[in-house]
Chains A and B, each alone.
Chain A
Amino acid sequence: MLSEKTINDIKLLATKYPDKRSALMPALHLAQKEIGHLPDAVLDDIAEIIGVSRTEASSVATFYTMYTREPRGTHTIFFCNDLPCALRGADEMLEQLEHKLGCKAGQTTADGKITLREAECLGGCDHAPVALIDGAEHQSDLTLEKLDALVARLINS
């Protein structure tokens, strides 16, 4: 399932650590970037290169919240509603966002475009409320207007 390039990148990663098992998490990141999630077949490929069992690879892939074994939407919004964000309106904003997307946190929109997830503190409390988009882009000082624009952008991209 993984492309030859990703497999080669993972093999290269495995040489960069004193113990190649350390390459497991970076490898899972690379694979998820390519496939979107981490199905059994992908874990088997990675486990073989790294030298661990699929069970070990799977336990790591399910322990950490940024990995997903199941397919997600085209985009994922990790929305923080821990205390510092909640003190600045995150709870109400999350409710509005759920209403707008027509799905609850933890679910994906009917058209498969956006998965909404609650995030633990994203380290942006000075610009709360914050969200992390596709694990790559921080959105801060969120307002309802900003969220509307964000959702429109994600749906159209």
Chain B
Amino acid sequence: MEHLILRDLDIENLKDISVYEKHGGYGAFRKAVKELTPDQVTDAVKASGLRGRGGAGFPAGVKWSFLPKGVFPRYLVVNADESEPGTFKDRQIMERNAHQVIEGIAIASYAIQCNHAFIYIRGEFPYAADCLERAIVEAEQRGYLGANIFETNYQLQITVHRGAGAYICGEETALLESMEGKLGQPRVKPPFPASVGLYNKPTVINNVETLANVPAIIERGAEWYAKIGTPKSTGPKVFCLSGHVNRPGNYEAAFGSISFRDLIYDLGGGIRGNKKLKAILPAGASGPMVSPLVNPEVLDVKLDYEALAPFGSTLGSASVIVMDEDTCIVWAAKKMTHFFKNESCGKCTPCREGTYWLLKMLERIDDGVGTSADIDLLTNVATQIQGRTLCPLGDFATSPVMGSVKLFRDEYERHIQEHGCWARGK
């Protein structure tokens, strides 16, 4: 299958601007600026059905159309703060196909009439940031960025802004705070960024992968794009596969075209050491786990945004972490909770204190000194975090506990009865 996003796998040296141009690069941006009005571009992206690839799946074109009329300046901020455990797609796209990201940003900026776009990239991605900066300089030299683009009045500059280590900045309002030189902590919504965003101006925030889809939509048309995938989840998706598989990596497939079985056993080469599959985290640490041991049919569901709802989970950004039969589920839940406890920004009490206590209890159970009351206490504390925080991190932080207790309560009970983990020694 032809790749639309991971085109670096089909075309050598795609990150060089001359190679990118040879394969049609910046043709879509030219078409948008020369032949279409900004509203026509937005309408095309709406009609394509493109949904945000950062995890929430909100329709991108609809987001662009929310900006209040006549209020300028307005900003596009690209969310390149890819920090979800198990997610590494945007990094590959930026490092190996940076011009497609820049072209997507340019088209989106034109659509919302923004003249200064920012890429907020996590500080731990220095090479990806360098690749973007190089691509921007090349695009400026070719006249794709700067003043009078394609001999029109449209002008655009793009600035790469490096973060400094904070998962929370992937949340869009925390990202805006961080862009403004403040602590990365979420804002109260409403007002939404569309009306009061960066520097209190109308702002659109899009994920890297989302924007990398835009050039093809403009070049080949919304109708063509909408035929890829399913009616509700259109286009291709990059699946990040990691954990106990033989071939971890990024795999691009149309929504609704592959199942976990295809992804893990076909593309991923199966479980390491021919072991049995125990559990899958479809959305990194942020979505509840699913298990073929409990629901055998979960392996054969064709994956799109809605496919995992019947199993109490979500596809999120499709960061698929695979765990084999030897994995201790209590340990895995503890690992993920440790992450959330460290990454809670501290603004909302239920998340700040709740993640601390969830971790304490998981450590207690894992250390073999838990009591049977601890399991219910865990879910009780998790429930008290849910829905009581400004941003979704609080809800995310409960996923490891809620998902694992629901599917593997017997493993928790055995840890308590046997005073520790039988699998890893006590």
B248 and A128: CB pair below 8 A?
yes
Docked complex Cα distance between A86 and B82 (Å)? 19
**B323 close to A (CB within 8 Å):** yes
B-to-A contact residues, CB < 8 Å = 73, 82-88, 90-91, 116, 122-127, 159, 161-167, 178-184, 199, 240-244, 248-250, 281, 285, 319, 321, 323, 327, 332, 335-336, 339, 342-343, 345
Query: Contacts of A84 on B, CB cut-off 8 Å?
Result: 85-86, 242-243, 321
Contact with B along A1-33 (1 / 0, CB 8 A): 000000000000000111101111110110000
Chain A residues, CB < 8 A from B123: 29, 64, 66, 135
Q: How many residues of A contact B (CB 8 A)?
A: 44
In the complex, the answer to whether A123 meets B199 with C-beta atoms within 8 Å is no
Q: How far is the CA of A135 from the CA of B123 in the complex (A)?
A: 8
* Alpha-carbon gap, A126 to B84, bound state (A): 13
> Given the complex of chains A and B, what is the CA–CA distance between A149 and B248 in angstroms?
25
CA distance A97 to B253 in the complex (A): 39
- For B182, the chain A residues whose CB sits under 8 A away are 21, 56, 60
Mask for A23-48, Cβ within 8 A of B = 1, else 0?
11110110000000000000000000
Task: Please determine whether A87 and B327 come into contact, CB atoms closer than 8 angstroms.
Answer: yes
Interface membership of A151, Cβ < 8 A: no
Chosen A-B contacts, 25 in total, with CB atoms closer than 8 Å, are: A16-B159, A18-B73, A22-B179, A56-B182, A63-B184, A64-B123, A64-B163, A64-B166, A65-B164, A66-B165, A67-B164, A82-B335, A83-B85, A83-B86, A83-B281, A83-B332, A83-B335, A84-B243, A120-B339, A120-B342, A123-B124, A125-B85, A126-B240, A135-B123, A136-B126
Is A132 positioned at the interface, with any CB of B under 8 Å from its CB? yes
Closest 7 CB pairs of A and B: A65-B165, A24-B181, A64-B164, A125-B242, A21-B181, A66-B165, A121-B85
Query: Which of A63, A83, A123, A126 is the one whose CB lies under 8 Å from B166?
Result: A63
In the complex, besides A25-B162, A64-B165, A123-B88, 13 extra interface pairs with C-beta distance below 8 angstroms are: A18-B73, A24-B181, A25-B178, A60-B181, A82-B85, A82-B335, A84-B86, A87-B244, A88-B244, A121-B86, A126-B88, A126-B241, A128-B242
Q: CB-defined interface of A115-157 with B at 8 Å, one 1/0 digit per residue?
A: 0000111111111100010011110000000000000000000
User: Does A52 sit within 8 A of B, measured CB to CB?
Assistant: yes
- Cα A60 to Cα B241 with chains together (Å): 34
What chain B residues lie within 8 Å of A135 (beta carbons)?
A: 123-124, 126
Contact B339 A121 (CB under 8 A): yes
Known A-B contacts A21-B181, A82-B339, A83-B321; the reply to A125 vs B244 at CB < 8 A is no
Q: Is the CB of B85 within 8 A of A19?
A: no
Main secondary structure on A side of the interface with B? mixed
The 8 Å CB contact of A29, one of B162, B181, B319, is B162
A51 to chain B, nearest CB (A): 10
Residues of A within 8 A of B88 (CB): 123-126
**Contact A126 B242, beta carbon cutoff 8 Å:** yes
Contact (Cβ within 8 A) B242 A120? no
**How far apart are A61's CB and chain B's nearest CB, in angstroms?**
9
Alpha-carbon distance between A17 and B73 when the two chains are bound, in angstroms = 13
- Nearest residue, chain A, Cβ from B166: A64
Query: A78 near B: Cβ within 8 Å?
Result: yes
In the assembly, what is the distance between CA of A86 and CA of B83, in Å? 16
Could you say which of A18, A65, A87, A124 has the most chain B C-beta atoms within 10 Å of its C-beta?
Answer: A87
